[in-house]
């Protein structure tokens, strides 16, 4: 997500990885990131109004190109779309003030859920900032709050970029960067002519990419044979969360004690915070499906994004060029078929290491880099054909749910002088992945899992919230037991990077 570099007001062509989110966009496949910030407005004389919110946001538009640029497409998709300054920007289309109708946590989350599942208008700058006023009656929080909900499209930046953007706009400084003025025009005809001129180079790059990725795939196959890396994940049994979603979503948040997580980590060598929470989700998901009489015949898996920044040349800590997303999508075996909580954690931790090792492998990355040189028309065509493909109802490609992770820094935020008291994020659901989780860590003093689900698939979020808590407590209690079990044989195989599927 571009911030205040010189390109904020310029025309910038999307990288293929970012355009992928645009081409996948449809009614039940929405690629938005959502951050939710609760501010203590008990001392305010009156809540913020629509006009005040618009004027509050206006000087902050210079923090990112996402605020002032929209997507324009090249005719015939001969090249990737471009971010273009929007001369018709109307902040009232993006800044929205609403009063929450009723007290309590349920009233707030139901209000947020009503608009969080809706797509952003990609003919305008792809963001919205909702201010929800008169939020009251939530246990443990101030008497009256205003809740800010920042939504941005994934093509403009990943979750970390969206988090960092919120840190800037809600920061304590009054010295904001200047709002960019457009420095270049955009003409569909002129861009079409330029795209035609780039076709020979695109073809050469595509041919080179096919050759390089083919060679990478060959070397990957050799390393799988020798056991240097694990093979690609297998298909998984489909669950109630792996069908088409409806238009209604729901979400909730559960907190965990960092000291308890550290105690579990200490009991399992090599386990990370994320491993502990993945094992927690595994236990809760297994228990939820079992209670529904839908125990899967084999283990389920989670899609776990991993940042690739700094792992190879061209993927730096700071985004290179105009690329906004630098992610590998790991498919981590959750080992939901293991009943013992500690043995399950051993297995999950080993599977995470195997997947990280696989995705950090230069040859695996070279194989995945085929998208870097794919022509835009081909990428769009492949995605459309993929959407038409008939899929078996009893299995899924490789994952059943999603678990992402964001370290949530910058708690010292304000809204018109009102201090931040709590913040978290949610991941909207998509077709065939109707349950998604986001792990949020707050300066090591609180860890939360937010989960978002299709309401028809999970009408009882309170029950799943309870099962997450129970799954975590089982891990804590087993870790403290004197006869705690060691890793299973499968876990030891994975730890040695033998060719056991992750």
User: Is residue 502 domain-resident?
Assistant: no
Read off the CATH number of the domain in which 372 is found.
3.30.559.30
Residue 23 and residue 49 share a domain: yes
User: What pLDDT score was predicted for residue 270?
Assistant: 94
Range of the domain at 407: 202-413+429-495
User: What pLDDT score was predicted for residue 488?
Assistant: 62
User: Is residue 190 domain-resident?
Assistant: no
What is the DSSP pairing of strand 327-333 with strand 414-415?
unpaired
User: What pLDDT score was predicted for residue 380?
Assistant: 94
Query: And the tokens for 132?
Result: 């929800």
Query: And the tokens for 400?
Result: 């059943």
In order, the DSSP letters of 71-110 are EEPPGGG-S--EEEE-TT--GGGTEEEEE-SSSSHHHHHH
User: Is residue 191 domain-resident?
Assistant: no
User: What pLDDT score was predicted for residue 339?
Assistant: 96
Average pLDDT by stretches of 10, the chain with 502 residues: 46 92 93 94 96 98 95 94 93 97 96 94 96 97 97 91 92 92 80 94 94 95 93 94 94 95 95 96 98 97 84 43 71 97 97 94 91 94 85 87 86 92 93 95 80 97 98 97 68 46 52
Read off the CATH number of the domain in which 144 is found.
3.30.559.10
**HEC readout, 163-192:** HHHHHHHCCCCCCCCCCCCCCCCCCHHHHH
User: What pLDDT score was predicted for residue 377?
Assistant: 94
Query: And the tokens for 241?
Result: 């969360």
Domain boundary among 185, 214, 249: 185
User: Is residue 1 domain-resident?
Assistant: no
Residue 210 and residue 154 share a domain: no
Residue 270 and residue 323 share a domain: yes
Residue 473 and residue 399 share a domain: yes
User: What pLDDT score was predicted for residue 308?
Assistant: 74
Residue 174 and residue 266 share a domain: no
Q: Cα(272)–Cα(268) distance, rounded to whole angstroms?
A: 9
Residue 159 and residue 120 share a domain: yes
Residue 206 and residue 174 share a domain: no
Residue 127 and residue 227 share a domain: no
User: What pLDDT score was predicted for residue 441?
Assistant: 84
What is the DSSP pairing of strand 327-333 with strand 32-40?
unpaired
User: What pLDDT score was predicted for residue 251?
Assistant: 97
User: Is residue 172 domain-resident?
Assistant: yes
User: Is residue 500 domain-resident?
Assistant: no
Model pLDDT for residues 143-197, shown as the tens digit of each residue: 999 999 999 999 998 888 888 999 999 999 999 999 987 766 788 899 999 999 9
User: Is residue 484 domain-resident?
Assistant: yes
Residue 208 and residue 160 share a domain: no
Query: The whole model's pTM is what?
Result: 0.91
Residue 262 and residue 177 share a domain: no
425: how many CB neighbours lie within 10 A of its CB? 25
Residue 288 and residue 388 share a domain: yes
Q: How many folded domains does the chain comprise?
A: 2
User: Is residue 109 domain-resident?
Assistant: yes
Residue from 220, 195, 208, 217 nearest 374 by CA:
208
Residue 234 and residue 147 share a domain: no
User: What pLDDT score was predicted for residue 134?
Assistant: 96
Q: Cα(344)–Cα(475) distance, rounded to whole angstroms?
A: 9
């Amino acid at each position: 997500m571009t911030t205040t570099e010189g390109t904020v007001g310029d025309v910038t062509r999307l990288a293929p990885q970012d355009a992928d989110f645009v081409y996948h966009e449809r009614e039940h496949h929405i690629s938005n990131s959502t951050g939710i910030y609760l501010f203590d407005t008990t001392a305010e004389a009156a809540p913020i109004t629509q006009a005040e919110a618009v004027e509050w946001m206006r000087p902050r538009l210079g923090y990112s190109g996402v605020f002032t640029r929209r997507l324009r497409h090249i005719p015939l998709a001969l090249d990737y779309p471009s971010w273009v300054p929007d001369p018709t920007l109307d902040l009232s289309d993006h800044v929205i003030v609403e009063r929450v109708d009723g007290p309590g946590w349920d009233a707030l989350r139901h209000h947020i859920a009503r608009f969080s599942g809706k797509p952003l208008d990609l003919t305008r700058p792809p963001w919205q900032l909702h201010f929800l006023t008169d939020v009251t009656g939530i246990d443990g929080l101030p008497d009256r709050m205003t809740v800010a909900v920042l939504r941005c499209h994934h093509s403009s930046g990943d979750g970390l970029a969206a988090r960092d953007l919120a840190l800037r706009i809600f920061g304590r400084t009054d010295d904001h960067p200047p709002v960019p003025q457009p420095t270049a025009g955009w003409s569909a005809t002129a861009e079409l002519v330029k795209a035609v001129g780039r076709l020979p180079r695109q073809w050469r790059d595509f041919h080179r990419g096919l050759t390089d990725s083919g060679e990478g795939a060959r070397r990957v196959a050799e390393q799988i044979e020798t056991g240097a890396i694990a093979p690609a994940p297998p298909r998984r049994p489909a669950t109630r969360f792996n069908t088409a979603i409806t238009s209604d979503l729901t979400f909730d948040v559960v907190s965990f004690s960092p000291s308890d997580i550290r105690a579990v980590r200490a009991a399992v060598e090599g386990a990370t915070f994320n491993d502990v929470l993945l094992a927690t989700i595994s236990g809760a998901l297994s228990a939820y499906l079992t209670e529904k009489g839908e125990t899967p015949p084999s283990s389920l898996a989670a899609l776990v994004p991993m940042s690739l920044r700094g792992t190879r040349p061209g993927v730096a800590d700071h985004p290179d060029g105009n690329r906004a997303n630098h992610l590998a999508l790991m498919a981590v075996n959750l080992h939901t078929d293991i009943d013992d909580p500690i043995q399950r954690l051993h297995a999950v931790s080993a599977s995470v290491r195997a997947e990280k090792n696989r995705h950090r492998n230069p040859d695996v990355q070279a194989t995945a880099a085929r998208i870097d040189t794919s022509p835009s028309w081909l990428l769009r065509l492949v995605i459309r054909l993929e959407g038409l493909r008939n899929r078996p109802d009893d299995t899924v490609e490789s994952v059943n749910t999603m678990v992402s992770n964001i370290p949530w820094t910058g708690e010292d935020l304000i809204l018109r002088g009102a201090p931040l008291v709590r913040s978290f994020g949610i991941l909207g659901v998509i077709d065939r992945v109707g349950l998604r989780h986001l792990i949020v860590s707050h300066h090591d003093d609180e860890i939360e899992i937010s989960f978002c689900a299709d309401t028809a698939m999970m009408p009882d979020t309170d029950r799943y919230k309870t099962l997450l808590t129970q799954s975590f407590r089982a891990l804590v209690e087993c870790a403290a037991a004197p006869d705690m079990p060691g890793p299973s044989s499968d876990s030891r195989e994975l730890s040695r990077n033998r060719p056991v599927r992750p």
